[in-house]
Amino acid sequence: MPAQKKKTQSRKGKTMARGRRKRSAEAKVGFGLLWVPVMLFFLLLSGLSVFYIWERIKLREIKRDIVTLERARRQIYEENQQLKAQTEQLASYRRIYKIATEHFGYIELKPKVIISPE
């Protein structure tokens, strides 16, 4: 009889070990399916974070470009105003008359009155 008890005990021990193996295998399967959505979530979160940072950097560059272009526009506008004032000054009749008389010897003729005989 003692030999039979040993066999049953060893069978019970094997069944218990098999049961434990099944449970641990089931736990691994459940955990294995859980990591996929978690990894997808972290990948999505990482991608969105990179996209957000990239957008902020691009926005900062665009703002810097806008400021630079506004300064250039203001400078060109002021230069244009100065050129318009200079054009008006150079095109004035008083200046042209002065240059014509001093440099080219322009003499303004007085109108002659001609009386025709009747």
Cα of 28 vs its chain's centroid, Å? 46
Residue among 72, 31, 81, 66 at smallest CA distance from 89: 81
Read off the pTM.
0.50
Residue among 90, 87, 109 at smallest CA distance from 98: 90
Is 66 part of a structural domain of the chain?
Answer: yes
Is 95 part of a structural domain of the chain?
Answer: yes
The total of structural domains in the chain comes to: 1
- Residue 34: domain span: 10-103
Terminal C-alpha separation, the chain: 175
Is 117 part of a structural domain of the chain?
Answer: no
Is 113 part of a structural domain of the chain?
Answer: no
CA 60 – CA 65 distance, rounded (Å): 9
pLDDT band at 34 (very low <50, low <70, confident <90, very high): confident
Is 110 part of a structural domain of the chain?
Answer: no
pLDDT at 29 over 80: no
Is 24 part of a structural domain of the chain?
Answer: yes
Is 118 part of a structural domain of the chain?
Answer: no
Summarize pLDDT for 72-118 with one digit per residue, the tens. 999 999 999 999 999 999 999 999 999 999 999 888 888 888 888 87
Q: Are 55 and 47 in contact (CB under 8 A)?
A: no
Summarize pLDDT for 45-81 with one digit per residue, the tens. 999 999 999 999 999 999 999 999 999 999 999 999 9
Is 39 part of a structural domain of the chain?
Answer: yes
